[in-house]
Amino acid sequence: MTLYEFAPSGNCHKVRLMLSLLGLAWRSVAVNGRDREQKSAAFLALNPFGQVPVLVDGTVTVRDSQSILVYLARRYGGEQWLPGEPAAMAEVIAWLSVASYEVWQGPAMVRAFHKFGREVDLARATALMTDLFAVLEQRLASQPWLALDRPTIADIAVYPYVALVPEGHVDLAPWPALVRWLGRVQALPGYVGMPGMAVTASP
Amino acid sequence: MTLYEFAPSGNCHKVRLMLSLLGLAWRSVAVNGRDREQKSAAFLALNPFGQVPVLVDGTVTVRDSQSILVYLARRYGGEQWLPGEPAAMAEVIAWLSVASYEVWQGPAMVRAFHKFGREVDLARATALMTDLFAVLEQRLASQPWLALDRPTIADIAVYPYVALVPEGHVDLAPWPALVRWLGRVQALPGYVGMPGMAVTASP
């Protein structure tokens, strides 16, 4: 498998994390996000949206980090990471939507403002992040994992940009259940982190 | 089944459309988005994100319009609308991510600015919409449906806010393949529309 990725991207990290949790071998092709290489003609042929990550597995090309998690879970992970039963699958998918919008426009943009100097409406991003963290805190105060009674790709999809908010100058102390959940993810067999992530005490 | 919905919402329409395509019976409970009833304590108990639609089917509660499409497709639609094969499923899910972010922040926000007076960065929403429509136009110029060789929930997820852009004072004429795709969706057996949607010639 080949992963086209920009190393500092949290969306790319979630794919690296899933590959590692599943014990899969892969090679990396760097796409330089600072030079906007993901908008080059060569890359647009791979993904017309001009976004990393993209995973190529034999004849299969998958774009979009959430979609890549679905692919890896269904092809290599069996029922554990994304169950086929309709209600359970829908519960996981609902968190992928949260990863695509609330997580991306909230904590990921707060970080992007500080780390990459990206043009961001910081007040809006901070408000989205605060609302999101309140929902996550309430949820994780009463159950260990976001979607089901075990870790699923819902947790993997939401995790990176929460763990990376210290790079957005955000202190996670007001959300202790969220911090404990970060610790549970970090304790999963095969876990890999990336620079800039909050490192928590054991869960 | 009970659908909690705000009638003018395109996200609610996509669920009504899917229910109709599958020939399912349901009842509607109105949630008044203009009075922000979706942020009331009673509704937050149903969905802590404070968003419509929410579908209740017996003991199962599903939030998030994309997730509801997954639930309905897997429970009542069989393989047709969301296949279980990993690569095909991932292709459909990638379009659900597009519905959650690009469609929502692009055409849906252009419409919300004009129709509901919502506070929107109109330049940003218009740019996202234009980029999205260019990708959709290129895709639909060479294949009839977004994800696979047949209609799937990818098409249903993206459809409403594209069809509703006339309410955002946008003329779809520059994207003829996109308009023909709207016509194909509108020709599906069991199709239902809503006020404000572009009505196209037969596909």
Number of residues that make up chain A: 203
Residue B133 falls within a domain, yes or no? Answer: yes
Looking at chain A, the whole-number percentage of residues with pLDDT higher than 90 is 95
Give strand pairing partners of B55: B3, B62
Beta bridge partner(s), residue B61: B56
Domain containing B172 — which CATH number? 1.20.1050.10
Percent of chain A with pLDDT over 70: 99
Categorize the per-residue pLDDT at A26 as very low, low, confident or very high, splitting at 50, 70 and 90. very high
Does B75 lie at the interface with A, CB-CB under 8 angstroms?
Answer: yes
Asked if B79 is an interface residue toward chain A (Cβ–Cβ < 8 A), one would say no
State what percent of residues in chain B have pLDDT above 70. Answer: 99
Q: Are residues B109 and B176 in the same domain?
A: yes
Does the structure show a pLDDT above 80 at A15? yes
Question: Is A193 part of any domain?
Answer: no
Same domain (yes/no): A101, A143 = yes
Average pLDDT value for chain B = 96
pLDDT digits (tens, 9 = 90+) for A136-188: 999 999 999 999 999 999 999 999 999 999 999 999 999 999 999 999 999 99
- The amino acid present at B94, given as its one-letter code, is A
Q: What pLDDT digit, counting tens, does each position of A3-12 carry?
A: 999 999 999 9
Give the domain extent around A57.
Answer: 2-77
Contact between B93 and A101 using a beta-carbon 8 Å cutoff: no
Phi, psi angle pair for B30, to nearest 5°: -75, 135
- B29, β-bridge pairs: B4
Q: Is residue A110 part of a domain?
A: yes
What average pLDDT does the segment B182-200 reach?
A: 95
Backbone torsion region of residue B78, taken as left when φ is above 0, otherwise alpha when ψ lies between -120 and 50, otherwise beta: left
Cα–Cα distance for residue pair A137/B6, rounded to 1 Å: 28
Of B48, B67, B139, the CB nearest to A93: B67
Q: What is the mean pLDDT of residues A184-197?
A: 96
DSSP letter for B81, please.
T
B69 in the same domain as B113: no
The sheet with strand A60-63 has its strands ordered as A27-30, A2-5, A54-57, A60-63
pLDDT at B203 over 80: no
Among A20, A47, A77, the domain-final residue is: A77
Say what the pLDDT of residue B122 is. 97
Selecting from B86, B97, B135 the residue whose C-beta is nearest the C-beta of A66 gives B97
Task: Spell out where chain A has E strands.
Answer: 2-5, 27-30, 54-57, 60-63
For the domain that residue A58 is a member of, what is the CATH number?
A: 3.40.30.10
Q: In whole angstroms, what is the distance from residue B107 CA to residue B128 CA?
A: 8
- Residue B28 is assigned to a structural domain of this protein: yes
DSSP lists the bridge partners of residue A60 as: A57
Q: Encode pLDDT of B93-132 as tens digits.
A: 999 999 999 999 999 999 999 999 999 999 999 999 999 9
B157 residue type, one letter: A
- Order of strands across the sheet that contains B54-57: B27-30, B2-5, B54-57, B60-63
Q: What share of chain B is helix, strand, coil (3-state, %, to 5)?
A: 55, 10, 35
Residue A33 CB coordination number (10 Å): 18
Give residue B179's region: left, alpha or beta (phi > 0; psi -120 to 50): alpha
The answer on pLDDT for B202 being more than 80 is no
- The β-bridge relationship of strands A54-57 and A2-5 is antiparallel
Residue A129's pLDDT band (cuts 50, 70, 90):
very high
Domain contains B124: yes
- Is the per-residue pLDDT at B165 higher than 70? yes
Shared domain for B58 and B125, answered yes or no, is no
Q: Are residues B98 and B178 in the same domain?
A: yes
Residues of B in contact with A62 (CB under 8 A): 87, 90-91, 94
B137 and B167 share one domain: yes
Question: Are residues B98 and B181 located together in one domain of the fold?
Answer: yes
Sorting pLDDT into bands at 50, 70 and 90, what band is A119?
Answer: very high
**Shared domain check, A102 and A32:** no
Q: Quick check: B121 contacting A, CB < 8 Å?
A: yes
- Domain co-membership, B100 together with B51: no
Residue B198 lies in a domain: no
Please name the residues between 37 and 56 in chain A that touch chain B, using a CB distance below 8 Å: 48-49
Give the separation between CA A200 and CA A185, rounded to whole angstroms: 10
> Do both B109 and B63 map to the same domain?
no
ipTM of this complex prediction, to 2 decimal places: 0.96
Distance between CA atoms of residues A73 and A78, nearest Å: 6
Residues B54 and B92 in one domain: no
Look up the pTM and report it: 0.97
pLDDT value at position A201? 66
The answer to whether residues B67 and B149 belong to one domain is: no
Mean of pLDDT values over B119-147: 97
Has residue A113 been placed in a domain?
yes
Q: Which residues contact A44 (CB under 8 A, 6 or more apart)?
A: A50
Q: How confident is the model at residue A78 (pLDDT cuts 50, 70, 90)?
A: confident
Supply the pLDDT for residue A202.
57
Q: Is residue A129 part of a domain?
A: yes
Cα angle: A43, vertex A47, A51; to 5 degrees: 80
- CB-CB under 8 Å, B105 with A67: no
pLDDT above 90 covers a percentage of chain B that reads: 95
B77-98 pLDDT, tens per residue? Answer: 989 999 999 999 999 999 999 9
pLDDT confidence band for B200 (50 / 70 / 90): confident
Q: How many domains does chain B have?
A: 2
Please report which confidence band the pLDDT of residue B201 belongs to, taking 50, 70 and 90 as the band edges.
low
Contact A72, B87 (CB under 8 A): no
